Chains A and B, each alone.
Chain A
Amino acid sequence: MPQMPKRVKYRKSQRGKVRGKASRGNFVSFGEFGLQSLESGWLSAEAIEAGRVTASHFLRGEGRLYIRVFPHKSVTAIPAETRMGKGKGEPEYWAAVIKSGMVLFEIAGVPEASARDCLARVAYKMPFKCRFLTRRPNI
């Protein structure tokens, strides 16, 4: 089942704009390899779940997967053929706000070739262009 927050202060949120590049969460922190988004936008909880399932199937219990993003934002929609007005629609799904450069998934405990294969499959499920990432040189 897709992720969503346990408790929220408000059920509905304004759309906002996704501007600029990520200045946090833009490098591999927990694992050894990562998948970095090269575009900005909303990543739905379903897409995150699809990526998780793909990676879990590929890894088959080997290594460890880290999900670096969480769907904090509710996205509303109004039903089809609805007249104008009557206020904001009901929450349709939950999404994570992604800035370009953010690391979406990380993997540890598997060889690089295997991690590349795995994250390439995960990238296929993502609505953004992504790239494979390794840890930064230690300075």
Chain B
Amino acid sequence: MAETVVLAAEARPGNGTRGARKLRKKGQIPGVVYGHKEATVSVAVAADDLHQAIRRGARVLDLNHGGKVEKALIRDVQWDALGHYILHVDFARVSEDERITLDVRVELRGTAPGIVAGGVLVQQIHQLHVECPVISVPDSIRVNVGELQIGQSVQVKHLTLPPGVKVNNDPEAIIAAFRLTAVEPTETAAITPTAEQAEPEVISKKKEEEPAEEE
């Protein structure tokens, strides 16, 4: 579980694009706090602090705003088109005795012996939809692939989960699988046209209509 992060937020007066742009120029990120049937509050947080918190894997943090500290879940983050900057952040109020659902990333651990034999480890699920108490949100779900042989896979039902954590994904879903490179058809091979095909087939209605006219 990640350390508790305290994030200072201040109320922002102006809503709208212009206000948000001014905030971003000052090194702040506009956000909103909602939930628990309380008033929705528009806030601004320091960009550096938020980036650091997200990079550390913090999902639930203590939000200090308006003279009070409340627990909040980072529910959504909007990025710019290039993925450089955060444009906006959503905080959802949570209480310590509550159970929440969120996505947690999957971390593969270990070097599988199948790699030496020419296999490729293909990770099919990168994040799991879990339900857990607010006070014990895991940073990641660790999956040991150290003993996987070629042809074997790890499914959701094989996972060893931290206490209190429940996974909502399909238990039969494959998280990671070891496959032989030669057996695995690459995506490119499937879509590469054959040498005979110099030009694509044209879907035209005229060809269907022409025989009717002749009759």
Contact = CB atoms under 8 A, between A and B. Distances in A.
B212 interface: no
A5 B105 contact: no
Given A5-B200, A22-B81, A61-B181, A109 B122 contact: yes
Nearest to A62: B120
A13 interface: no
B81 A26 contact: yes
B188 A52 contact: yes
A7 B81 contact: no
B202 A7 contact: yes
A33 interface: no
A65 B200 contact: no
Interface string A57-90: 0000111111100100000000000000000000
Contact of B83 (A4, A26, A62, A64): A26
Nearest to B106: A138
B interface bracket (residues with beta carbon within 8 Å of A): 35 or more
A68 B198 CA distance: 23
Q: For this complex, into which size category does the number of interface residues on chain A fall?
A: 35 or more
Contacts of A108: 122-123
Interface in B109-155: 118, 120-123, 126-127
A139 B54 contact: yes
Contacts of A136: 79, 83
Contacts of B203: 7-9
B188 A65 contact: yes
B192 to A, nearest CB: 6
A101 B104 CA distance: 25
Interface in A8-23: 8-11, 21-23
A26 B200 contact: no
B174 interface: no
Given A3-B191, A61-B181, A21 B122 contact: no
Given A62-B120, A64-B120, A138 B127 contact: yes
A4 B74 CA distance: 43
A116 B169 CA distance: 32
Interface in B166-204: 181-182, 184, 186-188, 191-195, 197, 199-203
A3 B192 contact: yes
Contacts of B193: 1, 3-4, 6
B103 to A, nearest CB: 6
Contact of A9 (B54, B76, B202): B202
Given A8-B200, A27-B83, A109-B120, 14 more contacts: A1-B192, A4-B193, A4-B199, A6-B197, A7-B201, A9-B202, A11-B200, A26-B81, A62-B120, A64-B122, A133-B83, A137-B57, A138-B126, A139-B74
Interface of A: 1, 3-11, 21-23, 26-27, 32, 36, 38, 52, 61-67, 70, 91, 100-101, 108-109, 133, 135-139
Of all A-B residue pairs in the complex, the 4 with the closest CB atoms, nearest first, are: A21-B81, A138-B105, A101-B81, A61-B181
